[in-house]
Structure formats: C-alpha cells, structure tokens
Structure 1
Amino acid sequence: MTRIGGGEYRSAVASKDVVILQVPGPDGDRDVRLTSPDKVAFPALGITKREVVEYYLAVGEPMARALRDRPTNLKRFNDGVDGEPFFVKRVPKGAPDWVRTCTVTFPSGRTAQSVSISEPATIAWAANLNTLDFHPWPVRCPDTDHPDELRIDLDPQPGTDFADAAAVAMVLREVLDEAGLVGWPKTSGGRGLHVFARIRPEWDFIEVRHAVIAIARRVAARIPDRATVDWWKEERGERVFLDFNQAARDRTIASAWSVRGLPSATVSMPLTWDAVPDVEPDDFTLRTVPGLLAERGDPHEAMDDAVGGCETALEWYAADERDHGLGEMPYPPEYPKMPGEPMRVQPSRARNTDGG
C-alpha cells in the first residue's frame, strides 16, 4: 500500500517496465497501467513519469472535482518537456472501458468523442500517456453547448509580470461582484492568472463570450494604464490583456492542479483572493503542491456552491453596443467568420491598405 497526499493506491510490479496501480474511486478500484515509470519527463529536474503520475494521484480528489464530467483535451509530451507537445481532442485508441466520453462540437460543425474526466483513475491513466496539461471545456456532459463556467485569462504582455496580473485580477473581482458572479482565481502555471466563475448553463458560447467581453471592458475602463482588451498585440502596450477569446467554443484553459509543460514543473494552483497579491507562482510545483494541499486543503472546494448568471454582464454588452458602438470583437484566426465580427486585419495593415 502506498499513501500519497492523503489518498491511497496499491501498486504491484507486473514487469520491469510496467506497474499496475489500483486507484480507488466512486465505482471501486481501477487498475491503471504505469508504463516506463523511469522515463524522464522533466530533464532539468530529473522528474520521471512515475513522479508525474504520483503527483496526479496526490491531487486526484480536488482535480477530479474541478474536471468532473467535463470534456477534456489532453496536452501530451511524449518526449518530455524538451520535446514537441501535441493536443489530443478525441479519446485515444485503447482507452479502458471505464473511461467516460461525451460528444463535443467544434466551430467547424464537426463532432468528436472527447475524454470526460470522472475520477482520479482517469487522470492517472491520461498521465501515463504523457499528459501534463489537462484542458477542460467550460461545459459538462451531456450538455456541451451551454457553458457552466465563465473564464477570463489575464495574460501579462511584454514589460509586465505576474504582479501586474494580480493587480488587474483584484479589479476584475470587483467587476464580477457587480455582475452577480463569484470569481475563483488560480495561477496559470506561467506568468498569468486565470479567474473562473460558475454560471447556470442557460447561455450558449456566443452569449457567454459576450458576457466576458463586457466584464473585461469594464475592467480595462477602470485601469486603462494596466489592462486592455485590444485583440491586436501591436495595440496592447505594456498592459495585461484580458483574453476574451478563451471563452470561445473549443478554446480551453489548463485546469486547476495541472502541471504545465515548462522546465520548472510549475502547477496551475488554485488560490484564495487574500493570497493573490502576495504569491510567487514559481513556488507552486509538482514537488511542492501535494504538501500545500495536505496542509491547506482545496481553496476552490466550494466553487460549485456559488453559481451565478450572465444577465447583468449581457445587459452591459447591449448597452456598450447601443450607446458606444462597442459590439463584437475579432475571433481567433482559425474560426469561421462570425456574425457581426469586425475585419480580422491588424490596424497597421488596414491603414497601409487604405493608404493611411
């Protein structure tokens, strides 16, 4: 019996390069194969695949709660973090029959069966496939067309850093409160911050994205020297970009507790609001987070108890459009042209084309 982070799993060596993990879950123990356990995932730190899987077992309970019933993209690093990663948006061949799935629809209209995380064993199984980042959709199965999570990505631009993102996040918290929403912050695992808010699944992706745009505009209007919603990089300056397009269909953000594919093995760490101004994101790593979880618990444990709606934010969006001519914003370049969307041409190029 091996105990990790307050949970337990049994392990038995099936062969030199295979370990069978028995991972407890809501439907009993699952046998999870750990292959090539000594394969190095983080060369600079000597972290092996086994350490990665053990980390995910240590945080399995709160991570499964964050991911539960969400179609999830797997960001796999088959050659470790020094290699080229790739996203898996469909259930890999050979998945155990207990790995749940659900259907998602991409912007193109095509559909796919995606992995649906339901228990820690599914996380461990995916980690054995060299998955580091778990990227869940903001929806739950079986209704994958109506988000139940509003997400805002605070992305520091060149010349800014995590401290700037933290300052913007505190203003975002105020705006979310005015919209009747409760924000839950976490580090991105890099230089930025993510803020999630639970919503009732009554609005489609376009409406939720409009709500995010309206909220982001209000933040930028209050601190224009520190925050921006400008889609084109040439206009952002040294400010924190509130990335509204992370709310678009098929755009995903690394989940809480995800290990990021960076040499330092940092983790996207859930935070309390009191902690946001003072934390150092580099302190949250694969090797430190299990101890922090055991000591402090899950800062986002009550997230599902704080469910709001998009009504107020959508009223703001309508008022911005009616009174100030601020309507739709550009979508990412791989998306089909969307109704009401402005031209996808960066301003300097448009001026040159017009002879300006």
Structure 2
Amino acid sequence: MSSSEAYVDVAGRSVRISSPDKVYYPDSGITKLDLATYYAAVAESVFRALANRPVALNRFPDGLGGSSFYMKHAPKGLPDWVETARVTFPSGRTGDEICVTEPATVAWAVQMGALELHPWPVRRSDTDHPDELRVDLDPQPGTGFPQAVEAAHEAKALFDELGMTPYVKTTGGRGLHLLVRIEPRWSFIEARRAVIAFARELERRRPDLLTTSWWKEERGERVFVDFNQMARDRMLAAAYSTRARPHALVSMPVRWAELPDVEPDDFTPRTVPSLLVKNGDAHADIDEAAFTLDALLEASARDERDHGLGDLPYPPDFPKMPGEPKRVQPSKAKNAGKPAT
C-alpha cells in the first residue's frame, strides 16, 4: 500500500481512501482518513439514521474552505456495491441518488469529499411516502441554543399529548432536530401539512418563543419552526453526520433528560466515538414504533376550516403548489400597493 492511499474497514468491507492525509477541516486538523475512521467507529449508529435512504452529499473535494456542491444525482463509475434509489424531484423529474444500503457507503462518501450527509425521510422501497416526520427548530438572531432547548421541550410535550415519540439531536449548529417515525402512508404534501399544524399549535401556546413565519422580517427574536424541511427534496443532516463548519461539529443524538446540559460544541469526530461507547446511542430504539398522522391532519383541516389557515409558502426553488399563498415578502407586498412618488 502506497502512502497516497489507505484502507478503512467498515462493518466488514474494506474501503479505499486516496490522499488520506488531505486535510478536510483545517481549523481542527481533521484529515480525510480521520473522517473515514470516525464513520467506521460509529458505523452501526450512523447506518441506523441512513439505512436504505436516498442521500444527497454536500461535497468539498478540497476540504472545508474549497469549492463545494450538493450531489443529488449518483455519478457514473460507482463501485458495484454502492447502490442508488430513484427519487422524484419537485419539478417532476426523476433521478437516481446514492442510497445507503450498508455502512461502508458512508466511508465511500468521505472518499468523494462529502462533509455532510443529507438523507431523505423515505426508504428506497417507497420514495414518495415519508416514514419520518421532521421538526427543525431554528433559532433566529437574538436567540440561541438555550431557546432551542426550551422550544424542544414544548414540542415534546405536544408530541406526548399526541401519543407520538420524538427523538432529538443537535444540528451541528445552534438548533435542534426532532424526529418521529411515522407509518409510510402519507404524501410529502400531507406530511408537510402535518408539520405546519404542529408548528401552529406550538406558536399558539408560546408566541413569545416560537414562530411559523416563513419571512425573516416577521420572525423576531424567536425560534423558527422550519416546516419546509418536510417538503420533498428538503433534507436535514443525518444523525452522526459532520457539518461543513470549522470545527467539524457532529449532528448528535441526545436523550431528553440530557438536553438541558448539552453543549453542541462538545460533539466532534474526535469525541463522539468514545461518548457512544460510554453512553450508547440515544436513538437506538427509534425504529421500534411508527405513528399515525391522523390527529395532525385533522388539526390541519380544522385550522383551515375554522381559522382560514391554509398552506404556507414553499421554498423559492419549488414550482407554485396548489393552495399555496403568494410568495411575496410582506414588506414588498405592502409597498407594491403604494403610488409612485
């Protein structure tokens, strides 16, 4: 073996890593080989988050600080053991994305320069019906991680009332992600409407803390419940994925009882493997039960019928969706009606 390559064993498969000494995270000195070795160490847990899911890769071929791009279409020349899944994009076009069918696929993604792994909330067997409900708690300027923690506990209380079990993880930044396994019986549109109904109820309970406003100018110093992370082709970083940020922070599953004492900066490829050995995977039983969206969809219908609260804006790269309000920033909409001076 030459010094220009190394091999990492991931769950029984040897994965070649070229240029193993290439630095991927300059601020922390984490190399390409370091990152592949990290994923080998957490193989079982990261595979639980990614198993049989199509995945978009945020690739930095020259490491953080170099050029980057999202790879949503599987490239040519894949190893014969790296598999794909057919997905439909918002435009209606279809494509084949990398699908994680074994833990070694993640090490192959590192070989391709992937610093972030973004799985769809679906499985390969049915890519049109999510099996995971996702709630993204995004602190706005003037707020931070403590407010995200407070918001997460409000969300957990509501999920408890609904008879649903949420799992929480850090984002690798200031926010938190809540994940709930659901029965794969509903479309992306229905799952998104369920999250909108959930978010609106949170906002009603804690308008001082939480907001559903898509427009930044209306959010204020509150935590935004990003309902559009449940839209088709919008993806959160996977549990145990690194993020493309200077210190290689990891999106880390945590237990609810631990959440008040969590420091997101503590989770990196250098610390997570030993923490996992010591504490176990906080999401180890996430696949044991799947829940229904019936109550949330009933709440969505009730919001529209009784309060006139229909759909909310989609991301700007989406085609106009049925029932969607105008995608006009409120301040611009007001100015549009003023006479010219």
Same fold (TM over 0.5): yes
2-side partners of 1:22 and 1:267: how far apart?
21
Aligned length: 339
Alignment equivalent of 1:261, drawn from 244, 263, 272: 244
Alignment equivalent of 1:231, drawn from 191, 214, 218: 214
- Counterpart of 1:15 in structure 2: which amino acid? S
In the TM superposition, residue 276 of structure 1 has moved relative to its aligned partner by 1.5
1-side partners of 2:175 and 2:284: how far apart?
22
TM-score, normalization: structure 1?
Answer: 0.93
In the TM superposition, residue 179 of structure 1 has moved relative to its aligned partner by 2.3
2-side partners of 1:140 and 1:99: how far apart?
16
Task: State the partner residue of 2:160.
Answer: 177
Task: State the partner residue of 1:5.
Answer: none
**Contact 1:23–1:120 under 8 Å retained in 2:** yes
- Counterpart of 1:16 in structure 2: which amino acid? S
In the TM superposition, residue 93 of structure 1 has moved relative to its aligned partner by 2.2
> The residue matched to 2:327 in structure 1 has which SS?
coil
Alignment equivalent of 1:127, drawn from 87, 91, 110: 110
Task: State the partner residue of 2:338.
Answer: 355
**Contact 1:55–1:290 under 8 Å retained in 2:** yes
Task: State the partner residue of 1:333.
Answer: 316
Task: State the partner residue of 1:215.
Answer: 198
Question: Alpha-carbon deviations, 1:259-310, whole Å to 9, x = none?
Answer: 1111111100001111112211111111111110010110001001121010
- Counterpart of 2:168 in structure 1: which amino acid? P
Query: Which portions of structure 1, spanning 4 or more consecutive aligned residues, are displaced by more than 4 angstroms?
Result: none
Q: Does 1:18 align with 2:5?
A: yes
More deviation in 251-260 or 124-133? 124-133
2-side partners of 1:298 and 1:30: how far apart?
22
- Counterpart of 1:214 in structure 2: which amino acid? A
Superposed CA RMSD in Å reads 1.1
In the TM superposition, residue 166 of structure 1 has moved relative to its aligned partner by 0.5
- Counterpart of 1:315 in structure 2: which amino acid? E
Question: Alpha-carbon deviations, 1:218-263, whole Å to 9, x = none?
Answer: 1111110110000000000000000000000000000000011111
- Counterpart of 2:302 in structure 1: which amino acid? A
More deviation in 242-251 or 171-180? 171-180
**Contact 2:119–2:236 under 8 Å retained in 1:** yes
> The residue matched to 1:41 in structure 2 has which SS?
strand
In the TM superposition, residue 118 of structure 1 has moved relative to its aligned partner by 1.6
Question: Alpha-carbon deviations, 1:161-193, whole Å to 9, x = none?
Answer: 000001000000111122232110000001100
2-side partners of 1:309 and 1:83: how far apart?
43
Query: Percent identical across equivalent pairs?
Result: 56
